[in-house]
Structure 1
């Protein structure tokens, strides 16, 4: 969170120096992809909550399906982000185009890295849904992995607002 916070502040300071450049660049982003990514990640968080509730209630099959669907959402997020990156690169909007796109690539790339880490955490949760019982320690690990995934989603909400919406 501290790293993202530092980048957010730096982004805002840079934007204050060239608001017209940042606003023009922001308008070239694919708002539809940004909205879709937001909905995908919010859905994945809901699925993780449902999975934890099912796991606590002893409904392991439901938990397994919910976590697998959340992982599918995470993979969908990555696919949409790759489509957006390629589209922007083809249009000449790479990190060298201007400061907005430099920060866009840094912030979304760092977030994408955390999505990949989160998918690994959800993979661990998936393995735990297949166990007949979880120890207190394993339950804490599963809940920690779920919290990490929620953190990744929360970061995206801030990134989406900062990069796609705020002019």
Structure 2
């Protein structure tokens, strides 16, 4: 009986974070360094938001008047675009955990395409505002260009991260669920930041 137990136990391979299906449920997904970076970025943006709110409280009429010229329909469109993009990336994480790497690559491509579409829409919105004479000479638009501009840089970095994930998934020796999770964490942060920016700049009155 002891021999049978010994033989049975030798056939069981130790689970690793990338092969154990319960890992995602019992551990924080992704890399710890990525979480530190994300929290740092959120703190920096929180500083931008606090300064914006202070200036808004000092000049409520000026900010409200300038805010009327924002195209809220474009803001809503970009919000839907990024939320859908995050959904694709989240599905890519699940596909990677399930060993469906080809499907994960397709989902990441879809998420990246929507991220690029977000940048195009935002670029058009910037062009329209500048053409209409709304430059950083106005206090509200000074904040608008800085906050959305820094966010656009984060979107661009996120697209580079998604490209790195695709490269990793194409290489069988480098496929790691933790890597895809870390990339998804960053992309979801970009999405969360935009939702906050949309609420602050477009919706709040």
- Scaled to the shorter chain, the TM-score interval is over 0.9
Cα deviation, residue 134, structure 1: 4.7
Task: Tell me what 2:144 maps to.
Answer: 104
Cα deviation, residue 39, structure 1: 0.5
Task: Tell me what 2:163 maps to.
Answer: 123
Match of 2:84 among 9, 27, 43: 43
Task: Tell me what 1:29 maps to.
Answer: 70
* 1:10 aligns to 2:51 (yes or no): yes
Looking at structure 2, the residues matched to 132 and 53 of structure 1 have their Cα atoms a distance apart, in angstroms, of 17
Structure 1 length as normaliser, TM-score?
0.94
Looking at structure 1, the residues matched to 49 and 121 of structure 2 have their Cα atoms a distance apart, in angstroms, of 23
Runs of 4+ in 1 over 4 A off after TM superposition: none
* 1:114 aligns to 2:144 (yes or no): no
Looking at structure 1, the residues matched to 158 and 64 of structure 2 have their Cα atoms a distance apart, in angstroms, of 31
* RMSD value, Cα: 1.2
Cα deviation, residue 131, structure 1: 3.1
Once the two structures are superposed, what CA deviation does each residue of 1:58-92 show, in whole Å capped at 9, x if it has no partner? 11221111000001001000000000000000000
Bigger CA radius of gyration: 2
Alignment map for 1:139-150 (pairs within 5 Å): 139-150=177-188
Q: Which has the higher helix share?
A: 1
Cα deviation, residue 144, structure 1: 1.1
Task: Tell me what 1:52 maps to.
Answer: 93
Structure 1 unaligned spans of 5+: none
Cα deviation, residue 104, structure 1: 0.3
Looking at structure 1, the residues matched to 127 and 142 of structure 2 have their Cα atoms a distance apart, in angstroms, of 15
Cα deviation, residue 132, structure 1: 3.0
Looking at structure 2, the residues matched to 144 and 62 of structure 1 have their Cα atoms a distance apart, in angstroms, of 18
